[in-house]
A and B are shown apart, each in its own frame.
Chain A
Amino acid sequence: MQVPELTINGQRHSVDGPVGQTLAETLRDELGLTGTKIACAEGHCGACTVLLDGVPVYSCITLVHTVGDREVTTIEGLREHPLVEAFVRTDALQCGFCTPGQIVSASALVESNPHPSSEEIRHAMAGNLCRCGTYPKIEEAISTWQG
């Protein structure tokens, strides 16, 4: 099998992982991009969310060999996004383990819809669980992301 080449946050990486390796494992274990978290490893919680060509996916159930030439964006590529500041300002994080995934999902939402309604936020973010219960502040962060 050919060694896949991935574009991650604008940089090219050759990834020599075994068939069956997930994108999340590649990011965390091969490339040291540990901002992407794994909380369930079976596509139920959203902590591992990354963007493929701007579309949020669960990287823990995305096989690295299926990524192809789609551009991967992780939290490390979104550190200067205004959502980061908005999450901090509104206190939309407690333990913070789900937060990178939340911000990645939210970035896709505001990219396509800069002024989402409460209903739209709740719809778009329902796939990102948070056990600390920061949801009200996540909604506030996204509604006020432009400051």
Chain B
Amino acid sequence: MARLIRTEKEVEGRFEEVWLVVDEDALEQWPAGPRDIVGRPASRVTGPLRARGEARYTADLRLPGMLHAAVLRSPHAYARVKGISFERALAAPGVRAAIGPGEANMLTDEPGFQGQPVAAIAADTFGQARAAVELVDVDWEIREPLLDPEEAVRRGQLVSEPDRYERGDVDKALAEADVVVEAEYRTQTVLHSSFETHQSICEWRGDSLDIYISTQFIWGVRDEVASKLELPPDKVRVVCEFMGGGFGSKNGAGDHTYVAAELARRTGRPVRCMLTRREENLAAGNRNSTIQRLTAAARSDGTLVALAGEYVNATGWDGWPAPTDGPMKMLYDCENVRTVLSPAKINTPPMKAFRAPGFVEGTFGLECLLDELAAKLKVDPLELRKLNYAHSADDRPFSSKNLMECYKRAEPHWQRRDEVRARSEGPWKRGVGLASQIWYGGGGPPSYAWVRLGSDGRATVVTAMQDIGTGTATTMTQIAAEELGLPLERVDLVLGDSARGPYASISAGSSTTPSMGPAVRSAAADAARQIIEIAAQRYDKEERILSLQGGNVVSTDGDSWPIEEVLGLLEDAQILGKGARGPNPTGMQVLTFGVQVAEVAVDVETGEIRVERVAAIHDVGRVINPLGASSQVEGGIIQGIGHTLSEDRLLDPATGITLNQTLDAYRLPTIADVPEIVTELLDIPDEHLTNLGSKGLGEPPIVPTAAAIANAIRDATGADVRSLPISREEMLRALREAEAKRKEKHGAAATV
């Protein structure tokens, strides 16, 4: 039954209080542990299509009569269009239409970053469109860009008011503490680098708009475009069958969609607008850089008494304040915490959510600081974390938290450190470091699914969600198969089309599985109930003694019939089950937890760093597909290694022009950079969360990786690395600084 509740909605750390219509979640959770299908490894259901090159991505679609758009993006970080002429462009071969500032949403004559869209051309081929963009004559007034985030904060130029938080009395606690550590940490700008670039094809059909788009949120694009173009939402259809990666950058419609929609309207033909890789590196979003001035204070027994952080996010020309301060507020039991976060508005490309936005950056600072504190206290870093274990956050209990069990499981990996250090030889020094993880991942309502069965004995799950590569199509299929007692190969899944399935969650914030999974189970249970009703009548049994198992209707009195025998009675009739995601537990924090232990080798002569092993232990509730889950963990850690060691979006400090716009100059990890990765998932269902007890896993694995590696480097070399990426230059600088400190210490001792 549907009911109306007042509840808190969370996406990637952003909360809002909303009225919500939700359905009851009447199903009881399955017992913990692997079942017939759920909890057992399954290769992904879309794997063969993707591997064989048969999966049709947005990039592969070709509509009849389709034109190609190219976008004129500002070559300047800050400028004004004094005049613009399309005369030469419109005369170029193949050109069909041109639009300029104000003629489509997001086209501007006052760009505030290099890459901001100004105008666009539609032509018969992509090459013609790009060539014509070069012929658009723009009279620019070039302005002085503001690129320094700290200067922006001094000037009060922010994208939103500073976020201030305080509990307890930090100043008093600092004054009374036995040990205080202070340090400044910096993280760099990182690019999502999705392999399928941002792109859409728009086609008007009468007063309806079809949008084929590479997106993480079919329904969000529908609502956003409908609102911006003043269309009824049901006049906008959004399709995304296969999707080539997003990592947070594809939550919105994007300038390409508005450009394609307007050019399609003007030409009466479908229009594709696809970003090139170089545009992608400018205008598709980024993980913003940060500056973090952090303080931790403790009593001599290791009890944390105060944490304080001043955070500056280099948010860019637009965007939102990613919660870099989140881990400091939530990870430890500390009475006195004060944070201030300033999102600087500068002339750089806007940030977008990127796999645990804010928490990746903030965990690097906080968890390195904790190790610096542990060193000063002469306390084991793992013990220090256990000692300050949090049982609630802001007095709200956790729906489930098994971080202590993660710490326990980390011990064998942590105990390898004497053996690892002993393997140091010559210039290669080895060490071990760890870091904890906290992040969201509970999902929430609404989300819906339908399940259809026919006389062929097969089930089809229908829902208009997207699978962005995380494997959710597979987990949903497993959940439906489990509930229906059918083998996995007899369940299909139809997704990716807002006109042909019910509303489904965004694929961001580690929310698809915890949002969609319970809806799919509930729809399958509705269908299963109907199968049992039919079987009870056909075989003259009481419904309560019948269940679906292993492809059969099974009676507790020993009888059993194949499901297809029962379904065969349907002929052209169908069983239609429907299900909805129930509410989240009231008054509780639904969070994910974990710890990673990294082993590194550092060449102290050249500054080369090799990550040799990462053990990842995470608590994300019930695991649906251990195989896909291990892939998610590995992928998160590998992106984390890129973030820690090699990736860095570089700007010319004078002009604000992005210097590395290619996948050659922007250095992603390769297969040769990958360490041994050991994945352990606790697989303990969250008893308060939905009919599954599952949380999301997309983001947690990337959260602690940078800090674990930096702490391992400190363990190996004694050098404090506080700035990402830890390039060879940064490593050598930190080594020189450590050497100078050592000499100063010895020098001081000698003069006494």
Contacts and interface: CB of A to CB of B under 8 A. Distances in A.
Nearest to A20: B127
Contacts of B589: none
Nearest to B636: A133
A45 B638 contact: no
A56 interface: no
Given A122-B674, A135-B638, A136-B674, 8 more contacts: A33-B53, A39-B196, A44-B662, A93-B44, A95-B195, A97-B244, A126-B671, A132-B245
A75 to B, nearest CB: 4
A119 B53 CA distance: 27
Contacts of A44: 277, 662-664
Contacts of B117: none
A8 interface: no
A131 B50 contact: no
Nearest to B630: A91
B498 interface: no
Interface of B: 43-44, 46-48, 50-57, 59-60, 62, 192-197, 242-245, 247, 276-277, 468-471, 627-628, 630-632, 634-639, 662-664, 668-672, 674, 677
Interface in A39-85: 39-42, 44-45, 47, 74-76, 79, 84
Given A88-B48, A96-B51, A39 B195 contact: yes
Query: Chain B interface secondary structure, helix, strand, loop or mixed?
Result: loop
Given A97-B196, A131-B245, A134-B635, A139 B671 contact: yes
Nearest to B276: A41
Contacts of B50: 93, 95-96, 99
B79 to A, nearest CB: 27
Contacts of B670: 126, 129, 135
A89 interface: yes
Nearest to A34: B60
Contacts of B663: 39-40, 44-45, 129
A91 B43 contact: yes
A93 B672 CA distance: 17
Contacts of A75: 52-53
Nearest to A47: B195
A91 B627 contact: yes
A140 to B, nearest CB: 11
B244 A133 contact: no
Contacts of B677: 136
A12 interface: no
6 nearest CB pairs, A to B: A35-B53, A95-B469, A96-B50, A133-B638, A97-B244, A133-B635
Query: Chain A interface secondary structure, helix, strand, loop or mixed?
Result: loop
Given A38-B59, A42-B277, A137-B634, A122 B195 contact: no
A75 B669 CA distance: 24
A103 B180 CA distance: 54
Given A37-B195, A91-B43, A96-B469, A42 B662 contact: yes
B277 A88 contact: no
Given A97-B245, A133-B669, A88 B634 contact: no
B735 to A, nearest CB: 28
B634 A133 contact: yes
A137 B662 CA distance: 26
Contacts of A6: none
A45 B242 CA distance: 20
Contacts of B53: 33-36, 74-76, 79, 100
A131 B56 contact: no
Contacts of A93: 44, 47, 50-51
Nearest to A84: B51
Interface residues of A, number: 52
A45 B196 CA distance: 12
26 contacts: A34-B59, A40-B277, A40-B663, A41-B276, A74-B53, A76-B53, A88-B44, A91-B44, A91-B630, A93-B47, A93-B50, A95-B243, A95-B468, A96-B47, A96-B50, A96-B469, A122-B671, A126-B670, A129-B668, A130-B195, A131-B668, A132-B245, A133-B635, A133-B638, A134-B631, A136-B674
Given A88-B47, A91-B47, A93-B51, A135 B671 contact: yes
A74 B53 CA distance: 9
A23 interface: no
Task: Among B51, B57, B276, find the residue whose CB has the most chain A CB atoms closer than 10 A.
Answer: B51
A87 interface: yes
Interface in A81-137: 84, 87-91, 93-100, 103, 121-123, 125-126, 128-137
Contacts of A130: 195, 671
Given A131-B195, A135-B671, A39 B52 contact: no
A142 B115 CA distance: 40
Contacts of B51: 84, 87-88, 93, 96, 99-100, 103
A35 B54 contact: yes
Nearest to A142: B671
Contacts of B245: 94-95, 97, 131-132
Contacts of B59: 34, 37-38
A131 B50 CA distance: 15
Given A37-B195, A133-B637, A134-B635, A96 B671 contact: no
A123 B672 contact: yes
A84 B636 CA distance: 24
Task: Among B52, B53, B630, B639, find the residue whose CB has the most chain A CB atoms closer than 10 A.
Answer: B53
A125 B672 CA distance: 8
A125 to B, nearest CB: 5
Nearest to B193: A131
Contacts of A74: 53
A94 to B, nearest CB: 4
A129 B191 CA distance: 15
Nearest to A129: B668
B52 A35 contact: yes
A130 B677 CA distance: 17
A28 B68 CA distance: 15
A84 to B, nearest CB: 5
Contacts of B243: 95
Contacts of A123: 672
A136 B43 CA distance: 15
A47 B243 CA distance: 15
Contacts of B662: 40, 42, 44
Nearest to B665: A44
B555 to A, nearest CB: 37
B675 to A, nearest CB: 9
A125 B104 CA distance: 43
Contacts of A99: 50-51
Contacts of A125: 671
A139 B634 CA distance: 13
A97 B636 contact: no
B467 to A, nearest CB: 9
A134 B195 contact: no
Nearest to B125: A29
A98 B470 contact: no
A42 B192 CA distance: 18
Contacts of B43: 88-91
Nearest to A119: B672
Contacts of A128: 671
Given A39-B195, A121-B671, A34 B56 contact: yes
Contacts of B193: 131
A128 B670 CA distance: 8
B125 to A, nearest CB: 8
Nearest to A77: B53
A124 to B, nearest CB: 9
